[in-house]
Every structure is written in structure tokens, then in C-alpha cells.
């Protein structure tokens, strides 16, 4: 993501690689979560419950169908969840520094309480919600998702969170709302990275309304059964598993419902490199590196990058008829 210093993918991977290999874990053990947790959760799927079958089928694709669940369950048998250590020590969070180790080091004192989120724009029920009021009405679900960074590394992360569509329903968006933007807190006193013009702060990204309402889209509040660590975006962050990681905004303080496609931070900083849609697509390279392969943190060999990060069955119908090279 660096725009000043052209990122050298090779070097950014070699350094952490030795460290990860040394502490690689083969099964989830942390946080009191056992094999039952892993087994019950469908990688890339829709949580583990019959609950999810209520998801409305979209034309041509039925995100909540049993077929999807089976497909994703098979994927889960082949992919290991990354360790808690991997997930919490190798981060992108430029508010706390641009090196992968910076967020863990610099975010420990960040205050996540009290916290509130402002909802405004084209909704019937706007307001400012304290964290508990926002989260408490909902059931927190387990979702094991791949995370694919635009820099060509990836992880598998066991999140806990709330389907964004459930939260959005409470705000009663108007039919005129076509996009929703997510804004990270602006607090240069606490966030050393915001004292430098690395990006245009505060960090903003956005989804089309149908993307925001997709059953896979999550507001994460935890991982590995623990509250979300500060470096991963506490107290709440977006997770959109079929898009490059930069769409998944951390430390959200605002959601705005708007009529037209908003300006987003990375897209504005380098429009040729970071598209608005940012769907994971092995056929559309970044101008400076291939997107056809990726390094799974903890593995030696690169693996093939999957269309929509492996969630094509669930999300491809959202983009039917669109030119994915132009709308990258
Ligand atoms: N506010 C904010 N959100 C952010 C970022 C950031 O720098 N600032 N980095 C993004 C990028 S590039 C990625 S890959 C993911 C990384 O999430 P993780 O560190 O929890 O794995 O967060 C995304 N969300
Ligand atoms: Mo990223």
C-alpha cells in the first residue's frame, strides 16, 4: 500500500516469514477455543447455523444455501486458521505506523471506551450510538474468513461479529441510499501515524448498498473468542472477505448513507492502483505486481489467488454485467 516507497513484495514477505514459520500452529488452541469451534465454523461460509438459511436468495445465487455451506466447508478442511500471534502481530493500520509490527507496538494504549458511532445521511433513524447500544441488540456470530491484502499476502481469521445487514436494518435506510461510507476515528494525539500526511486522514472507505447488505459482510467485534485487539481495529471494524483488506475499515466512528459513490482514502491516493470496488481478482494485476498469487502467512510456497477470494459462489452475482477490469 505504500505510495512513497514502492513496496517490494519479496522483502515484505521474507522478513516475517522466518518468524512465522517458527511459531506456526497447526490447529486453533488459543482462547479456550477447541476443535469444536473450528469444525463448526464454515470457512468463507455463513457461520454455522441454520440461522443463515434465512438469507434472501439473490437472483442466480443463494448466499445462504446448503450448497454454499457444503462448498465452503470443504475449503475449510484444507486451510488452517492462522495463529493468534500471526493475526495480531502482522498488521496494516497506518494510523499506528506503516510497518507490519507497528500497530501492535503503538496501539496498546489506544482508548476504545467510551466509544460511539454516528449514523447519518439517508436513513430514517440516524443517531449517535454508544458501543453497547449498537452491539447489544445483536447476536454475535462466528465467521472464519480469508483475508487477502492487496499487497499479496493473506491469512485465515476466526472473527466474531455482527452481520452488517442486521445492524443497518435498524437504521432503516431510505431507497435513495446507494452507498455507505465508514470512517475511522480521527485522533492524532492517540494515533501517531495521523500526525504525518501518509494518507488523507481520517481513513474512509465505502461499500455499495447491496455489498453492505450481503450476508457475508461483517462488523467484527472480536477474534479468537476475545475482544478485538486494538491493532486489529478495536472496538469495531468492517470485514468484507471478498475484497482486498483495505476496504475493511478499522475503529469505525461513523457510517454515512449516501446517494452517490463517495471518495475513499486509498482510491483517492492512487486511483490507478486501488480501485473503488477492490474485489479480489487474480486476473487484474496491480500495476506494480501480480495479483494471481499470494503468500499465506505461515506458508513457504505461494498459493493461487481465488476469484473474489474464494467467495465467488456467494458474491459474483452482485457484479453481473460489470466490466471487472474497469471497475477494479
Ligand atoms: N483505519 C484503517 N483501517 C484499515 C487499514 C488502515 O491502515 N487504517 N488497513 C487496511 C488493510 S490494507 C488491511 S490488509 C487490513 C488489515 O487488517 P488486520 O491488520 O486486522 O489483519 O486492515 C485494513 N483496515
Ligand atoms: Mo491491505
Question: Under DSSP, is residue 254 helix (H, G, I), strand (E, B) or coil?
Answer: strand
Buried b / exposed e along 99-130 (16+ C-beta atoms within 10 A): ebebbbebbeebebeebebebebbbeebeebe
Respond yes or no on whether the N-terminal peptide bond of residue 202 is cis (omega within 30° of 0).
yes
**Does ligand 1 come within 6 angstroms of the Cβ of 149?**
yes
Identify the residue whose C-alpha is closest to ligand 1 atom 16.
92
Residue 216 has pLDDT above 90, yes or no: yes
Identify the residue whose C-alpha is closest to ligand 1 atom 21.
91
Identify the residue whose C-alpha is closest to ligand 1 atom 1.
250
Task: Using alpha carbons, list the distances in angstroms from residue 56 to 60, 71, 238, 260.
Answer: 12, 18, 21, 25
pLDDT of residue 48: 34
CA of 36 to the centre of ligand 2 (A): 30
pLDDT of residue 274: 98
Confidence of residue 3 (pLDDT cuts 50, 70, 90): low
Task: Using alpha carbons, list the distances in angstroms from residue 230 to 32, 145, 287, 292.
Answer: 20, 19, 32, 31
CA of 60 to the centre of ligand 2 (A): 30
Identify the residue whose C-alpha is closest to ligand 1 atom 5.
93
SS3 of 137-151: CCCCEEEEEEEECCC
Residue of 117, 188, 248, 267 to test ligand 1 pocket, by largest number of atoms within 8 Å of CB:
248
What is the position in ligand 1's atom list of the atom closest to the CA of 266?
12
* Rounded-to-5 percentages of helix, strand, coil across the chain: 30, 20, 50
Residue 15 has pLDDT above 90, yes or no: no
Ligand closest to Cα of 266 equals 1
Residue of 110, 157, 245 to test ligand 1 pocket, by largest number of atoms within 8 Å of CB:
245
CA angle, residues 146, 150, 153, in degrees to nearest 5: 55
Identify the residue whose C-alpha is closest to ligand 1 atom 15.
245
pLDDT of residue 57: 35
SS3 of 29-83: CHHHCCHHHHHHCCCCCCCCCHHHHHCCCECCECCCCHHHHHHHHHHHHHCCCCC
pLDDT tens digits, residue range 259-288? 999 999 999 999 999 999 999 999 999 999
**Rg over CA atoms, the chain:** 18
Task: With beta carbons less than 8 A apart as the criterion, state whether 196 and 147 touch.
Answer: no
Q: Where are the domains of the chain?
A: 2-319
**Which residue has better confidence, 107 or 3?**
107
**Does ligand 1 come within 6 angstroms of the Cβ of 45?**
no
Residue 110 has pLDDT above 70, yes or no: yes
pLDDT tens digits, residue range 176-205? 999 999 999 999 999 999 999 999 999 999
User: Which of 5-9, 104-108, 220-224, 278-282 comes out lowest in average pLDDT?
Assistant: 5-9
Ligand closest to Cα of 249 equals 1
Whole-model pTM above 0.85?
no
Alpha helices in 65-201 (DSSP H): 66-78, 84-89, 102-106, 131-135, 164-171
Tracing cell 500497530 back to the chain, one arrives at: 103
Identify the residue whose C-alpha is closest to ligand 1 atom 19.
91
Ligand closest to Cα of 205 equals 1
**Which residue has better confidence, 22 or 321?**
321
Nearest to 1 by CA among 155, 152, 204: 152
CA of 57 to the centre of ligand 1 (A): 30
pLDDT of residue 68: 54
pLDDT of residue 148: 98
Residue 223 has pLDDT above 80, yes or no: yes
Nearest to 315 by CA among 142, 58, 48, 42: 58
pLDDT tens digits, residue range 26-49? 223 333 333 334 333 445 444 333
Other CB atoms within a 10 A radius of the CB of residue 305 amount to 20
Tracing cell 485522533 back to the chain, one arrives at: 187
CA of 249 to the centre of ligand 1 (A): 6
Class of domain 2-319: alpha beta
**Does ligand 1 come within 6 angstroms of the Cβ of 252?**
no
Amino acid at each position: 500500500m505504500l505510495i512513497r516507497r514502492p513496496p517490494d513484495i519479496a522483502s515484505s514477505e521474507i522478513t516475517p516469514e522466518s518468524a512465522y514459520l517458527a511459531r506456526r500452529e497447526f490447529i486453533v488452541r488459543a482462547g479456550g477455543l477447541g476443535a469444536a469451534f473450528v469444525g463448526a465454523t464454515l470457512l468463507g461460509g455463513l457461520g454455522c447455523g441454520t440461522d443463515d438459511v434465512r438469507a434472501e436468495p439473490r437472483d442466480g445465487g443463494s448466499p445462504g444455501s446448503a450448497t454454499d455451506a457444503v462448498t465452503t466447508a470443504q475449503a475449510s478442511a484444507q486451510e488452517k486458521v492462522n495463529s493468534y500471534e500471526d493475526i495480531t502481530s502482522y498488521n496494516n493500520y497506518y494510523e499506528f505506523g506503516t510497518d507490519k509490527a507497528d500497530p501492535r507496538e503503538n496501539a496498546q494504549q489506544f482508548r476504545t471506551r467510551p466509544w460511539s458511532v454516528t449514523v447519518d445521511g439517508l436513513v430514517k433513524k440516524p443517531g449517535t450510538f454508544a458501543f453497547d447500544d449498537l452491539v447489544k441488540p445483536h447476536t454475535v456470530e462466528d465467521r472464519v474468513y480469508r483475508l487477502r491484502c492487496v499487497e499479496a499476502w493473506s491469512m485465515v481469521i476466526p472473527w466474531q461479529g455482527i452481520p452488517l445487514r442486521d445492524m443497518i436494518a435498524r437504521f432503516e435506510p431510505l431507497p435513495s441510499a446507494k452507498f455507505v461510507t465508514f470512517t475511522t476515528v480521527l485522533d492524532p494525539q492517540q494515533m501517531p501515524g495521523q500526525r504525518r500526511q501518509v494518507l488523507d486522514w481520517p481513513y474512509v472507505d465505502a461499500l455499495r448498498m447491496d455489498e453492505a447488505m450481503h450476508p457475508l459482510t461483517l462488523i467484527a467485534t472480536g477474534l479468537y473468542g476475545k475482544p478485538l485487539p486494538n491493532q486489529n481495529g478495536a472496538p469495531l471494524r468492517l470485514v468484507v472477505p471478498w475484497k482486498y483488506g483495505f476496504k475493511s475499515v478499522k475503529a469505525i466512528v461513523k457510517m454515512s448513507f449516501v446517494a452517490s459513490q463517495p471518495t475513499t482514502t486509498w482510491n483517492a491516493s492512487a486511483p490507478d492502483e486501488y480501485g473503488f470496488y477492490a474485489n479480489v481478482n487474480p486476473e487484474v494485476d496491480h500495476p506494480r505486481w501480480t495479483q494471481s498469487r499470494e503468500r499465506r502467512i505461515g506458508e513457504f510456497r505461494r498459493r493461487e489467488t481465488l476469484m473474489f477470494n474464494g467467495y465467488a459462489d456467494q458474491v459474483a452475482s452482485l457484479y453481473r454485467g460489470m466490466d471487472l477490469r474497469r471497475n477494479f
